[in-house]
Structure 1
Amino acid sequence: MELKMWQNRRENGELAMVSDLIDNINKKWKTELIMNTFQKEIAHKILQIPLAKTDCKDMKVWKGELSEEFTVRSVYKLLQEASLDPSNYLLQADTKDFYKKLWNLQLPTKILILIWRISWNYIPSLANLRQKRVTTTARCPRGCSEEEDSFYVFRQCLVSMDAWISLNMAWVTEYTDQNIWPWLTWLEVVRERKLTTTTGRSEHKEEELWESIQFDAAFDTNSSISASGMVARGQNREITVSKSTLHSNVSSPFVAEALACLEATRLGIRLGFNSVTIMGDSKTIIKKCKAGVRDKSVLSAIMVDIQNNKNRFQNIIFRFIQRTENGKAHDLAKEALKKEEGSYLVEETRENLDLGERWPRNPD
C-alpha cells in the first residue's frame, strides 16, 4: 500500500509503502520513524492499528456492510439512501431494523429470500392472485373458510399448523402480534435461544474435565492504555495462575477486549493446556473467535493471531459468560491499569481486592 506523502510533516523519500513503517522482525510499528514523519494526530492513529504476529496477506474491505464483505444488496442500499427522500417509508426505522436483522440471520439464502418475499407480501397467495385477476376466489382450498393471505398461510391455516407441529415447532404460532414483520424476526430470536440452550448444555458437559481461562479488559480513553486480566483454572476449577498485562496505543474498548482474549490464548499455550475453554464477557469478541473465516474489521490482525493460536491446542472452545461471572478477571485488569504494571501470580487467589468502584463498561 502506497503512502500519501502530502499528509507527512516533511518529505521522506525513503518511505514509499506502509511496510516501510513496520519492523518485520519484531512485528511492531517503527514508532520513532512514524512520530518524526507524520503529524502527531496521524501518527497516533497509525500506532493504534494492531499488527499481527502471524504473516498474512492484505485483503480488500467493503465498508458498506457490517460484515465488511461486498454485496450487491449493500450497494443498492447505499444508492437508495442517497437518492430517496428520508421521509419515504422504505427508510423508516422499523423497516430498516427489520431488514438489518434479516440479512444477518445465519440461514440459507433461499430461506432469506422467501422471508423477504413474505415481508413484502410477494408470495402467490390466493388473495394476491385474485388482486392480480389470476383467480376469482381467495378462500383457502384446504377445507377452511378463511381468505388465504400471507398471514393466514403461515400462521392460521390448519394444514400449516399441523406442519409446524410435525416439525416440533408449534411454538412459532404462539406470537400474538398481527404484524408479520415482528413475527418473522421473533421466530429467529426464539430459534437461536433454543439452539443456544441445547448446544450450551452439551458443550458445558464436554468441558467438565478441561482447564479454563477467563479474560477481561480495562481501558483508559485518555491515555489509550488498556490492561488485560486473566484467571486460569485447573480441571477441578481451582485458580492456578492469575495474570495481567498492559497494552499501549489501544484505540477502543473492543480492541482492548480482543487483546485480552489474545493474551488468554497465549497464557494457555504457556501453561501447556491441552484442552481449554476461553471465557469472556464480550459477545462481539467471542463471536469473532468462533468464526472460521478471516475477520475484516479493525480487529483483523488480533483475530489472525488468535486463530493461529487455536492450532496450538488439541481442543479449544470460546464461550461467552455474564459479567457477573467474570469479576476476578475484571479486578485484575482494573488493578493493573490503576497501578500501570502487570503481574503474574501462581496458585494465588485475590478474594479481597479493595478496588473501589468498577470501571464503567461500554456495551458490545
Structure 2
Amino acid sequence: MRDHCVNVLIGSNTRKWKEELVKDTFVEDDADRILRIPLASSPHEDFLAWGGEASGEFSVRSAYKLLQNSEENPRAYALQTSYRKLYKKLWLLNLPTKIKITVWKITWHFLATRVNLQHRRLIVDPSCPRCGERAETRDHLFRECPVTMEIWSILLFQNIMGNDDRNFEQWLIWVCEQLNMHNFRIFCCALWAIWGDRNSRVHNQKVSTGPEIGNFIKTYLAEIDGLEEKRFGKIDQLQMWTYPPQEAVKINFDGAFDGHNHISASGVVVRDNEGVVLLSWSKIHKGVSSAVQIGVNHLWPTVIIEGDSLSVIKKCKNWDQDRSMISAYIQDIKMMVSRSKKFDFQYVSRTVNTIAHDIATKELRRYKGSYQGRSASEQDEQQGLREAVREPD
C-alpha cells in the first residue's frame, strides 16, 4: 500500500467511492468509516496543513499545546491533566478574558509574588505587602492572609478555607469540584480581585479593606450581568429574518447530525423579497450538497446565502486557500460562485434560521429525502407567514 494514494479508491468520473475495492482493502469497521466520508464534486490538488489546529494553519498557541502534552515536560503534562476539569469550567464562565487569564496564571504559578521575585533575585524581602506577617507565597496570598480570609468570609466562602492539609493545587481542584457554576464564577472573580488589590497596594499605595473588596466583587459581577441583559435584550429585538433586496432571493441553510447512527441531513429554504417561499428542500446526506448549487441551478440574478454556522460563512467569504477538514467542499463552493451569478454570504443567529433548521431536523427524523418546489410543509409555511409580518415603518 505504500505506493498507492487515496484517489485510487475514488472513481474519477463518478466522484464516488469504489465500494467493492474499499471493502476488499480494509477491515469492515474501517471500510464503513471511509465510505461515510462525503466526497467533493471536483478533485483538488494536495496541500500541506498543520494538524495541531482545526483551521489547518500554524499558530504558536497550537504548538504550545503540543509541547505541553510532550513527555519531555512531565510536570507540565501533570498540571494540564489535573487542572483539566477546572479549565473546562473556567473557560465556560461569563467573565471577562482578563479574569480567566489571571486565574490561569495562578494555576501555573506565573504571578509575580514576592517569593517568586526573591527566587529570581529581584528583591530581598519576601514579606506579604498586605499583612507583613509571612512570606508572600501563592498559598498565603489567596488562602492565609487576614485580608483574604475576610474577603472569603464576606462572600460566604468560609467553608473552603478549612482544608489546610491540601497543597494549593489540590485546594484549587477541590474548590472547583465543590462549587456550582454560579459560585465558581464568584470565586474566580475574587481571585482576580485579590491579586488586583495586592498590586494596588504595591504600586499605588492604595489600601482597601476586606469588606470593600468583597463589595467591589459583588458590584462588578452585577454590572457584567446588567450589560449582558441589555445586550441580549437588544439581540432579541433585532434578531428577525430580513427581506432580501428587490430582484434578489435569500437562501437559508442548516444541517443536522445524528452521531449515533452516523447520518446527517440538510435543509434549505428560498424566499423572495416579499418573504414568499419559492422552494424548500431537504435531504439525507451520503454525499455533499450545497445551498449554492440550488442558487446556481436557478435563474435568480442575485442570491444571498444565510446560515448560522459562522465558520462556514467566513470560509466561503475568504478567498484565501482553506486548509481545514472541509477545505475540498469550500473549494467546490468557491468554484461554483466564481462561474455563476452574484452571491453574497451572510451569518445569522439560530433564531433567525428557524425554518431551515426545522426542515433539516425533521428530515433527519424522517430518514428519507424530499423535494418541495414552490411550497413548504404546513408548519414551515406557518413559520414563514409569522416571519413575513413586516414591522411598522
Same fold (TM over 0.5): yes
Partner of 2:391: none
Q: Could you say what the CA RMSD is over the residues aligned between the two structures, in angstroms?
A: 5.4
Decide whether the 8 Å contact of 1:242 with 1:344 is kept in 2. yes
Matched, 1:326 2:326: no
Q: How does 1:150-161 map to 2 (within 5 A)?
A: 151=196
Q: How many aligned positions are there?
A: 290
Matched, 1:76 2:73: no
Matched residue SS, 2:290: helix
TM-aligned CA deviation for residue 303 of structure 1? 2.2
Partner of 2:298: 271
The one-letter code matched in structure 2 to 1:63 is G
The one-letter code matched in structure 1 to 2:271 is R
Q: Measured at CA, do residues 207 and 98 of structure 1 come closer, stay the same or move farther in structure 2, by a change above 3 Å?
A: farther
Decide whether the 8 Å contact of 1:218 with 1:333 is kept in 2. yes
Matched, 1:60 2:48: yes
**Hey, what's the Cα distance between the residues in 1 that align with 2:77 and 2:313?**
36
Q: Measured at CA, do residues 226 and 153 of structure 1 come closer, stay the same or move farther in structure 2, by a change above 3 Å?
A: same
**Hey, what's the Cα distance between the residues in 2 that align with 1:94 and 1:221?**
24
Larger radius of gyration: 2
Partner of 2:264: 226
**Hey, what's the Cα distance between the residues in 1 that align with 2:364 and 2:103?**
53
Matched, 1:237 2:275: yes
- TM-score normalized with structure 2 length: 0.53
Partner of 2:249: 211
Matched, 1:16 2:16: no
Higher helix share: 2
TM-aligned CA deviation for residue 239 of structure 1? 0.6
TM-aligned CA deviation for residue 328 of structure 1? 5.2
**Hey, what's the Cα distance between the residues in 1 that align with 2:199 and 2:272?**
50
Q: Measured at CA, do residues 327 and 118 of structure 1 come closer, stay the same or move farther in structure 2, by a change above 3 Å?
A: closer
Decide whether the 8 Å contact of 1:217 with 1:229 is kept in 2. yes
TM-aligned CA deviation for residue 336 of structure 1? 7.1
Q: How does 1:106-125 map to 2 (within 5 A)?
A: 120=105
TM-aligned CA deviation for residue 85 of structure 1? 6.4
TM-aligned CA deviation for residue 76 of structure 1? 2.2
Q: How does 1:176-191 map to 2 (within 5 A)?
A: 176=217
Partner of 2:327: 300
Partner of 2:24: 36
Matched residue SS, 2:69: helix
Matched, 1:350 2:382: no
Q: Alpha-carbon deviations, 1:15-52, whole Å to 9, x = none?
A: 82222112222322222322233222221222222322
**Hey, what's the Cα distance between the residues in 1 that align with 2:198 and 2:272?**
54
Q: Measured at CA, do residues 343 and 90 of structure 1 come closer, stay the same or move farther in structure 2, by a change above 3 Å?
A: closer
Matched, 1:49 2:37: yes
**Hey, what's the Cα distance between the residues in 2 that align with 1:240 and 1:154?**
63
The one-letter code matched in structure 1 to 2:347 is R
Decide whether the 8 Å contact of 1:218 with 1:334 is kept in 2. no
Instruction: Say which is worse superposed, 211-220 or 329-338, in terms of deviation.
Output: 329-338
TM-aligned CA deviation for residue 213 of structure 1? 0.9
Partner of 1:362: none
- TM-score normalized with structure 1 length: 0.57
**Hey, what's the Cα distance between the residues in 1 that align with 2:24 and 2:245?**
53
Q: Measured at CA, do residues 321 and 18 of structure 1 come closer, stay the same or move farther in structure 2, by a change above 3 Å?
A: same
**Hey, what's the Cα distance between the residues in 1 that align with 2:242 and 2:266?**
28
Matched residue SS, 2:280: strand
TM-aligned CA deviation for residue 118 of structure 1? 11
- Identity of matched residues, %: 24
**Hey, what's the Cα distance between the residues in 2 that align with 1:325 and 1:130?**
58
Decide whether the 8 Å contact of 1:54 with 1:308 is kept in 2. no
Gapped regions of structure 1 (runs ≥ 5): 5-14, 102-111, 139-148, 160-174, 250-258, 354-364
